[in-house]
Amino acid sequence: MQTDRAKRCSSTLRPRVLWVSESPRLHTGHGRVTDEISKRLAAGGKYEVGVLGWGAEPYLDGECTMFAPGPQPWLSARVNRVIEDFGPDVVVTSGPLLALGVMEEVSLRPFVSWVGYATFEASPVPVALRAVLRRMDRAVVPSAWCRSALVDERSPHESRKGSPVRVIPCAVDSQDFHPRPDRDDLRAAYGLAKKFVVGCVARNHFRKQIPVLLKAFARFAKRHREALLYLHMDPDGPVWRLPELVKQHRLERRVAFTRGLVGPVGTTTQTLNAIYNLFDVMVLPTMGEAFGLPILEAMAAGVPVIGTACSAVNELVEGRGELIAVRDWLTMNWDNAEYALPDADGLVEKLELLYADQELRLEYGRRGRAFAETMTWDRAAVAWKRLLDGVVSRSPRGYRAASAPWVSAVRRAAQ
Protein backbone atom coordinates (compact mmCIF):
# COMPACT_ATOMS: atom_id res chain seq x y z
CA MET A 1 0.00 0.00 0.00
CA GLN A 2 1.29 3.38 -0.94
CA THR A 3 1.94 5.76 1.92
CA ASP A 4 0.53 9.26 1.90
CA ARG A 5 4.04 10.42 1.11
CA ALA A 6 4.30 8.22 -1.97
CA LYS A 7 0.89 9.31 -3.22
CA ARG A 8 1.84 12.96 -2.87
CA CYS A 9 5.09 12.50 -4.75
CA SER A 10 3.17 11.17 -7.70
CA SER A 11 0.38 13.79 -7.63
CA THR A 12 1.81 17.18 -6.68
CA LEU A 13 5.04 19.08 -6.32
CA ARG A 14 3.85 21.38 -3.55
CA PRO A 15 6.29 21.17 -0.64
CA ARG A 16 4.96 20.57 2.84
CA VAL A 17 5.81 22.50 5.99
CA LEU A 18 5.20 21.14 9.47
CA TRP A 19 5.03 23.89 12.12
CA VAL A 20 5.68 22.62 15.67
CA SER A 21 5.00 25.04 18.53
CA GLU A 22 2.30 26.15 20.95
CA SER A 23 -1.24 25.62 19.71
CA PRO A 24 -2.70 28.43 17.61
CA ARG A 25 -5.65 28.26 19.99
CA LEU A 26 -3.53 29.70 22.80
CA HIS A 27 -3.35 33.47 23.25
CA THR A 28 0.41 33.44 23.79
CA GLY A 29 3.25 34.82 21.72
CA HIS A 30 4.14 31.47 20.18
CA GLY A 31 0.48 30.58 19.73
CA ARG A 32 -0.15 33.85 17.92
CA VAL A 33 2.85 33.36 15.61
CA THR A 34 1.80 29.76 14.88
CA ASP A 35 -1.72 30.89 13.95
CA GLU A 36 -0.86 33.93 11.88
CA ILE A 37 2.08 32.51 9.92
CA SER A 38 0.81 28.97 9.30
CA LYS A 39 -2.50 30.13 7.85
CA ARG A 40 -0.76 32.64 5.59
CA LEU A 41 1.69 30.04 4.32
CA ALA A 42 -1.21 27.73 3.52
CA ALA A 43 -3.40 30.43 1.99
CA GLY A 44 -0.81 31.25 -0.63
CA GLY A 45 -1.29 27.83 -2.22
CA LYS A 46 2.43 27.25 -2.59
CA TYR A 47 2.81 25.13 0.54
CA GLU A 48 0.81 22.45 2.26
CA VAL A 49 1.00 23.24 5.96
CA GLY A 50 0.61 21.03 9.01
CA VAL A 51 0.53 22.21 12.63
CA LEU A 52 1.51 20.18 15.69
CA GLY A 53 0.66 22.47 18.59
CA TRP A 54 0.73 21.73 22.29
CA GLY A 55 -1.52 23.14 24.99
CA ALA A 56 -4.87 22.55 23.27
CA GLU A 57 -6.53 19.95 21.11
CA PRO A 58 -6.61 20.64 17.37
CA TYR A 59 -9.60 22.23 15.69
CA LEU A 60 -10.95 22.05 12.16
CA ASP A 61 -9.07 24.32 9.81
CA GLY A 62 -9.78 24.68 6.14
CA GLU A 63 -6.20 25.57 5.24
CA CYS A 64 -3.85 23.70 7.59
CA THR A 65 -3.71 20.06 8.64
CA MET A 66 -3.95 20.02 12.45
CA PHE A 67 -2.37 17.23 14.51
CA ALA A 68 -3.34 16.27 18.06
CA PRO A 69 -0.45 16.96 20.43
CA GLY A 70 -0.89 13.86 22.59
CA PRO A 71 -0.01 13.83 26.29
CA GLN A 72 3.65 14.71 25.67
CA PRO A 73 3.89 16.49 22.32
CA TRP A 74 7.59 17.26 22.64
CA LEU A 75 8.65 13.62 22.88
CA SER A 76 10.65 12.78 19.78
CA ALA A 77 8.43 9.75 19.16
CA ARG A 78 5.35 11.97 18.74
CA VAL A 79 7.13 14.40 16.41
CA ASN A 80 8.57 11.47 14.46
CA ARG A 81 5.11 9.94 14.02
CA VAL A 82 3.65 13.20 12.73
CA ILE A 83 6.56 13.57 10.30
CA GLU A 84 5.90 10.02 9.10
CA ASP A 85 2.16 10.67 8.67
CA PHE A 86 2.42 14.12 7.08
CA GLY A 87 5.65 13.77 5.11
CA PRO A 88 6.96 17.34 5.41
CA ASP A 89 9.85 18.73 3.44
CA VAL A 90 10.62 21.28 6.16
CA VAL A 91 9.96 21.17 9.91
CA VAL A 92 9.82 24.49 11.77
CA THR A 93 10.21 24.25 15.54
CA SER A 94 9.31 27.40 17.41
CA GLY A 95 9.94 27.97 21.08
CA PRO A 96 12.48 27.57 23.87
CA LEU A 97 15.36 25.10 23.94
CA LEU A 98 13.17 22.11 24.81
CA ALA A 99 11.02 22.74 21.77
CA LEU A 100 13.93 23.47 19.46
CA GLY A 101 16.07 20.51 20.47
CA VAL A 102 13.51 17.75 20.03
CA MET A 103 14.41 17.37 16.35
CA GLU A 104 17.85 16.10 17.30
CA GLU A 105 16.28 12.88 18.60
CA VAL A 106 13.86 12.39 15.69
CA SER A 107 14.93 9.38 13.63
CA LEU A 108 13.57 10.89 10.40
CA ARG A 109 15.62 14.07 10.85
CA PRO A 110 17.98 13.20 7.92
CA PHE A 111 15.02 13.24 5.54
CA VAL A 112 13.66 16.71 6.33
CA SER A 113 15.09 20.20 6.48
CA TRP A 114 14.95 21.84 9.89
CA VAL A 115 14.30 25.52 10.62
CA GLY A 116 14.33 26.71 14.23
CA TYR A 117 12.54 29.86 15.41
CA ALA A 118 14.52 30.45 18.59
CA THR A 119 13.33 32.60 21.48
CA PHE A 120 15.38 33.50 24.54
CA GLU A 121 15.03 36.42 26.87
CA ALA A 122 18.45 36.96 28.44
CA SER A 123 22.13 36.70 27.69
CA PRO A 124 24.71 35.26 27.51
CA VAL A 125 22.99 32.66 25.35
CA PRO A 126 23.42 29.15 26.82
CA VAL A 127 26.07 26.97 25.20
CA ALA A 128 23.46 24.23 24.77
CA LEU A 129 21.22 26.52 22.73
CA ARG A 130 24.09 27.66 20.54
CA ALA A 131 24.96 24.03 19.84
CA VAL A 132 21.37 23.22 18.81
CA LEU A 133 21.21 26.24 16.51
CA ARG A 134 24.39 25.19 14.71
CA ARG A 135 22.81 21.88 13.75
CA MET A 136 19.77 23.46 12.08
CA ASP A 137 19.52 24.15 8.38
CA ARG A 138 18.40 27.69 9.22
CA ALA A 139 18.04 29.57 12.49
CA VAL A 140 15.52 32.40 12.86
CA VAL A 141 15.03 34.84 15.75
CA PRO A 142 12.30 37.45 16.39
CA SER A 143 14.40 40.52 17.18
CA ALA A 144 17.65 42.28 16.39
CA TRP A 145 18.56 41.92 20.07
CA CYS A 146 18.34 38.12 19.80
CA ARG A 147 20.62 38.11 16.79
CA SER A 148 23.13 40.43 18.47
CA ALA A 149 23.17 38.11 21.48
CA LEU A 150 24.07 35.22 19.18
CA VAL A 151 26.36 36.99 16.74
CA ASP A 152 29.21 38.55 18.68
CA GLU A 153 32.97 38.52 18.61
CA ARG A 154 33.28 35.84 21.27
CA SER A 155 31.10 33.22 19.62
CA PRO A 156 29.99 34.02 16.08
CA HIS A 157 27.12 31.82 15.00
CA GLU A 158 26.42 30.29 11.67
CA SER A 159 24.03 27.47 10.92
CA ARG A 160 25.17 24.06 9.74
CA LYS A 161 25.25 25.18 6.11
CA GLY A 162 26.90 28.49 6.77
CA SER A 163 23.76 30.63 6.67
CA PRO A 164 23.55 33.53 9.14
CA VAL A 165 20.85 33.90 11.75
CA ARG A 166 17.77 35.51 10.19
CA VAL A 167 15.58 38.07 11.99
CA ILE A 168 11.84 37.78 11.31
CA PRO A 169 10.00 39.92 13.86
CA CYS A 170 6.61 39.19 15.34
CA ALA A 171 3.78 41.39 14.14
CA VAL A 172 0.30 42.67 14.90
CA ASP A 173 -2.98 43.01 13.04
CA SER A 174 -3.64 46.75 13.33
CA GLN A 175 -7.28 46.20 12.36
CA ASP A 176 -7.84 43.74 15.21
CA PHE A 177 -5.88 45.94 17.63
CA HIS A 178 -6.82 49.58 17.24
CA PRO A 179 -7.91 52.67 19.20
CA ARG A 180 -11.66 52.40 19.75
CA PRO A 181 -13.68 55.54 19.05
CA ASP A 182 -16.06 54.62 21.89
CA ARG A 183 -13.26 54.42 24.45
CA ASP A 184 -14.98 56.66 26.99
CA ASP A 185 -18.18 54.61 26.82
CA LEU A 186 -16.15 51.41 27.08
CA ARG A 187 -14.38 52.61 30.21
CA ALA A 188 -17.71 53.63 31.72
CA ALA A 189 -19.12 50.19 31.01
CA TYR A 190 -16.20 48.64 32.92
CA GLY A 191 -16.74 51.07 35.81
CA LEU A 192 -13.54 52.94 35.01
CA ALA A 193 -14.88 56.39 34.12
CA LYS A 194 -12.65 59.15 35.50
CA LYS A 195 -9.99 56.60 36.47
CA PHE A 196 -6.32 56.74 35.48
CA VAL A 197 -5.80 53.13 34.44
CA VAL A 198 -2.36 51.54 34.55
CA GLY A 199 -2.58 48.22 32.74
CA CYS A 200 -0.46 45.13 32.25
CA VAL A 201 -1.05 42.23 29.83
CA ALA A 202 1.30 39.36 30.60
CA ARG A 203 1.63 35.82 31.84
CA ASN A 204 1.86 35.20 35.57
CA HIS A 205 5.55 34.37 35.21
CA PHE A 206 8.65 35.26 37.17
CA ARG A 207 10.10 37.19 34.21
CA LYS A 208 7.21 39.66 34.22
CA GLN A 209 8.01 40.91 37.74
CA ILE A 210 4.45 41.77 38.74
CA PRO A 211 5.61 42.25 42.37
CA VAL A 212 7.73 45.20 41.20
CA LEU A 213 4.69 46.64 39.42
CA LEU A 214 2.52 46.27 42.53
CA LYS A 215 5.18 47.86 44.71
CA ALA A 216 5.58 50.84 42.37
CA PHE A 217 1.84 51.24 41.83
CA ALA A 218 1.16 51.24 45.59
CA ARG A 219 3.42 54.28 45.93
CA PHE A 220 1.91 55.96 42.87
CA ALA A 221 -1.66 55.29 44.03
CA LYS A 222 -1.08 57.00 47.38
CA ARG A 223 -0.68 60.29 45.54
CA HIS A 224 -3.44 59.73 42.98
CA ARG A 225 -6.80 58.57 44.29
CA GLU A 226 -8.20 57.99 40.80
CA ALA A 227 -5.37 55.55 39.85
CA LEU A 228 -6.35 51.93 39.23
CA LEU A 229 -4.20 48.96 38.19
CA TYR A 230 -5.74 46.51 35.70
CA LEU A 231 -4.00 43.12 35.39
CA HIS A 232 -4.84 40.86 32.45
CA MET A 233 -3.31 37.59 33.66
CA ASP A 234 -4.15 34.50 35.70
CA PRO A 235 -4.25 35.85 39.30
CA ASP A 236 -3.67 32.45 40.94
CA GLY A 237 -0.53 31.17 39.30
CA PRO A 238 1.48 29.43 38.24
CA VAL A 239 4.09 31.66 39.89
CA TRP A 240 2.45 34.22 42.19
CA ARG A 241 -0.81 34.29 44.12
CA LEU A 242 -1.52 37.84 43.12
CA PRO A 243 -4.60 38.49 45.32
CA GLU A 244 -2.37 37.89 48.35
CA LEU A 245 0.22 40.36 47.06
CA VAL A 246 -2.55 42.89 46.44
CA LYS A 247 -3.63 42.56 50.06
CA GLN A 248 -0.05 42.91 51.29
CA HIS A 249 0.14 46.28 49.54
CA ARG A 250 -3.37 47.24 50.73
CA LEU A 251 -4.60 47.65 47.19
CA GLU A 252 -7.79 45.58 47.38
CA ARG A 253 -9.94 48.35 45.90
CA ARG A 254 -7.29 49.65 43.53
CA VAL A 255 -6.52 46.52 41.47
CA ALA A 256 -8.79 44.76 38.95
CA PHE A 257 -8.33 41.45 37.14
CA THR A 258 -9.92 40.13 33.98
CA ARG A 259 -12.69 37.83 35.20
CA GLY A 260 -12.56 34.16 34.30
CA LEU A 261 -9.10 34.28 32.74
CA VAL A 262 -7.25 30.98 33.08
CA GLY A 263 -3.64 30.39 32.04
CA PRO A 264 -2.47 30.74 28.45
CA VAL A 265 -5.89 30.01 26.92
CA GLY A 266 -6.52 33.74 27.23
CA THR A 267 -9.43 35.53 25.65
CA THR A 268 -10.65 36.59 22.22
CA THR A 269 -8.81 39.19 20.16
CA GLN A 270 -11.84 41.48 20.30
CA THR A 271 -11.95 41.35 24.10
CA LEU A 272 -8.20 41.82 24.38
CA ASN A 273 -8.35 44.93 22.21
CA ALA A 274 -11.13 46.28 24.43
CA ILE A 275 -8.91 45.68 27.47
CA TYR A 276 -6.01 47.60 25.94
CA ASN A 277 -8.41 50.47 25.24
CA LEU A 278 -9.19 50.70 28.95
CA PHE A 279 -5.59 51.68 29.68
CA ASP A 280 -4.11 55.13 29.99
CA VAL A 281 -0.67 53.51 30.20
CA MET A 282 0.54 49.95 29.55
CA VAL A 283 3.40 48.73 31.76
CA LEU A 284 5.53 45.64 31.17
CA PRO A 285 8.07 45.35 34.02
CA THR A 286 9.80 42.42 32.38
CA MET A 287 13.18 40.87 33.13
CA GLY A 288 13.72 40.06 29.46
CA GLU A 289 11.89 39.51 26.19
CA ALA A 290 12.77 37.85 22.90
CA PHE A 291 10.26 40.25 21.36
CA GLY A 292 7.38 41.46 23.57
CA LEU A 293 4.15 41.01 21.62
CA PRO A 294 1.87 42.74 24.20
CA ILE A 295 3.97 45.88 23.74
CA LEU A 296 3.22 45.93 20.03
CA GLU A 297 -0.46 45.14 20.58
CA ALA A 298 -0.78 47.99 23.07
CA MET A 299 0.89 50.34 20.61
CA ALA A 300 -1.53 49.26 17.89
CA ALA A 301 -4.35 50.21 20.28
CA GLY A 302 -2.80 53.66 20.66
CA VAL A 303 -1.71 53.12 24.27
CA PRO A 304 1.60 54.58 25.54
CA VAL A 305 3.97 51.92 26.86
CA ILE A 306 6.44 51.73 29.74
CA GLY A 307 8.85 48.79 29.57
CA THR A 308 12.11 47.66 31.13
CA ALA A 309 15.25 48.90 29.38
CA CYS A 310 16.49 45.44 28.45
CA SER A 311 16.61 42.85 25.67
CA ALA A 312 14.21 43.36 22.75
CA VAL A 313 12.10 45.85 24.73
CA ASN A 314 14.58 48.60 23.89
CA GLU A 315 14.11 48.31 20.13
CA LEU A 316 10.31 48.36 20.45
CA VAL A 317 9.86 51.12 23.04
CA GLU A 318 12.77 53.53 22.62
CA GLY A 319 11.50 56.77 21.10
CA ARG A 320 7.88 55.55 21.27
CA GLY A 321 7.44 55.19 25.03
CA GLU A 322 9.32 55.21 28.33
CA LEU A 323 11.97 52.76 29.55
CA ILE A 324 12.38 51.69 33.18
CA ALA A 325 15.95 51.69 34.48
CA VAL A 326 17.48 48.33 35.39
CA ARG A 327 18.27 48.11 39.08
CA ASP A 328 20.43 44.99 38.86
CA TRP A 329 21.16 41.94 36.73
CA LEU A 330 20.29 38.56 38.25
CA THR A 331 21.41 35.07 37.28
CA MET A 332 18.14 33.14 37.59
CA ASN A 333 18.31 29.71 35.95
CA TRP A 334 20.49 26.77 35.02
CA ASP A 335 21.52 28.61 31.85
CA ASN A 336 23.50 31.28 33.79
CA ALA A 337 21.93 34.04 31.73
CA GLU A 338 21.48 37.41 33.39
CA TYR A 339 17.97 38.84 33.71
CA ALA A 340 17.14 42.50 34.30
CA LEU A 341 15.52 43.53 37.59
CA PRO A 342 13.40 46.63 36.85
CA ASP A 343 13.78 49.48 39.32
CA ALA A 344 10.57 50.20 41.24
CA ASP A 345 11.62 53.79 41.95
CA GLY A 346 12.27 54.32 38.25
CA LEU A 347 8.84 52.93 37.38
CA VAL A 348 7.16 55.34 39.80
CA GLU A 349 8.97 58.22 38.07
CA LYS A 350 7.76 57.08 34.64
CA LEU A 351 4.18 56.74 35.88
CA GLU A 352 4.32 60.24 37.35
CA LEU A 353 5.72 61.60 34.10
CA LEU A 354 2.96 60.18 31.93
CA TYR A 355 0.24 60.95 34.47
CA ALA A 356 1.20 64.63 34.46
CA ASP A 357 1.68 64.99 30.70
CA GLN A 358 -1.37 64.11 28.64
CA GLU A 359 0.22 65.48 25.45
CA LEU A 360 3.18 63.14 25.89
CA ARG A 361 0.80 60.20 26.33
CA LEU A 362 -1.00 61.16 23.13
CA GLU A 363 2.28 61.59 21.25
CA TYR A 364 3.54 58.17 22.34
CA GLY A 365 0.17 56.73 21.37
CA ARG A 366 0.52 58.19 17.86
CA ARG A 367 4.12 57.04 17.45
CA GLY A 368 3.33 53.56 18.70
CA ARG A 369 0.35 53.23 16.41
CA ALA A 370 2.37 54.38 13.39
CA PHE A 371 5.08 51.84 14.19
CA ALA A 372 2.58 49.01 14.73
CA GLU A 373 1.01 49.67 11.34
CA THR A 374 4.35 48.80 9.71
CA MET A 375 4.68 45.51 11.61
CA THR A 376 2.15 43.41 9.72
CA TRP A 377 1.67 39.65 9.69
CA ASP A 378 1.57 39.76 5.90
CA ARG A 379 5.04 41.28 5.90
CA ALA A 380 6.28 38.62 8.31
CA ALA A 381 4.73 35.86 6.21
CA VAL A 382 6.53 37.13 3.09
CA ALA A 383 9.83 36.88 4.97
CA TRP A 384 8.99 33.32 6.06
CA LYS A 385 8.06 32.32 2.49
CA ARG A 386 11.35 33.62 1.16
CA LEU A 387 13.30 31.79 3.81
CA LEU A 388 11.41 28.52 3.26
CA ASP A 389 11.78 28.82 -0.50
CA GLY A 390 15.53 28.97 -0.03
CA VAL A 391 15.60 26.02 2.35
CA VAL A 392 13.53 23.85 0.01
CA SER A 393 15.51 24.82 -3.10
CA ARG A 394 18.83 23.87 -1.52
CA SER A 395 17.68 20.58 -0.07
CA PRO A 396 17.93 17.29 -2.01
CA ARG A 397 15.53 15.72 0.46
CA GLY A 398 11.78 15.94 0.89
CA TYR A 399 9.48 15.88 -2.08
CA ARG A 400 12.44 15.89 -4.49
CA ALA A 401 13.48 12.44 -3.26
CA ALA A 402 12.00 9.36 -4.87
CA SER A 403 9.11 7.84 -2.98
CA ALA A 404 10.72 4.43 -2.61
CA PRO A 405 13.74 5.59 -0.57
CA TRP A 406 11.42 7.59 1.66
CA VAL A 407 9.14 4.61 2.31
CA SER A 408 12.14 2.41 3.01
CA ALA A 409 13.54 4.94 5.47
CA VAL A 410 10.23 5.13 7.32
CA ARG A 411 10.04 1.36 7.57
CA ARG A 412 13.61 1.11 8.86
CA ALA A 413 12.92 3.82 11.46
CA ALA A 414 9.84 1.94 12.67
CA GLN A 415 11.72 -1.33 13.20
Structure confidence at residue 76 (pLDDT):
85
Residue 407, pLDDT above cutoff 70 = no
Structure confidence at residue 397 (pLDDT):
52
Per-residue pLDDT of 137-148, as tens digits, reads 999 999 999 999
Structure confidence at residue 402 (pLDDT):
37
Structure confidence at residue 211 (pLDDT):
97
Per-residue pLDDT of 305-333, as tens digits, reads 999 999 999 999 999 999 999 999 999 87
pLDDT confidence tier of residue 166, bands split at 50, 70 and 90: very high
Cβ atoms 66, 385 nearer than 8 A? no
Domain layout of the chain by residue ranges: 4-171+376-414, 183-374
* Single pTM value for the model: 0.89
Q: When comparing pLDDT for 366 and 410, which is higher?
A: 366
Residue 161, pLDDT above cutoff 60 = no
**The CATH number of domain 4-171+376-414, selected from 3.40.50.620, 3.40.50.11930, 3.40.50.10860, 3.40.50.300:** 3.40.50.11930
Residue 162, pLDDT above cutoff 50 = no
**The CATH number of domain 183-374, selected from 3.90.180.10, 3.30.160.150, 1.20.1260.10, 3.40.50.2000:** 3.40.50.2000
Per-residue pLDDT of 191-203, as tens digits, reads 999 999 999 999 9
Structure confidence at residue 178 (pLDDT):
98
Structure confidence at residue 69 (pLDDT):
85
Partners of 255 in beta bridges: 229
**Per-residue pLDDT averaged across 274-294, rounded?**
97
pLDDT confidence tier of residue 395, bands split at 50, 70 and 90: low
Decide if 4-171+376-414 and 183-374 have a common fold: yes
Structure confidence at residue 71 (pLDDT):
67
Per-residue pLDDT of 30-71, as tens digits, reads 999 999 999 999 998 899 999 999 888 888 778 899 998 876
**Per-residue pLDDT averaged across 365-391, rounded?**
97
Structure confidence at residue 129 (pLDDT):
85
Per-residue pLDDT of 74-126, as tens digits, reads 578 889 999 999 999 999 999 877 677 888 889 899 999 999 999 999 999 88
Structure confidence at residue 126 (pLDDT):
84
Q: What is the mean pLDDT of the chain?
A: 87
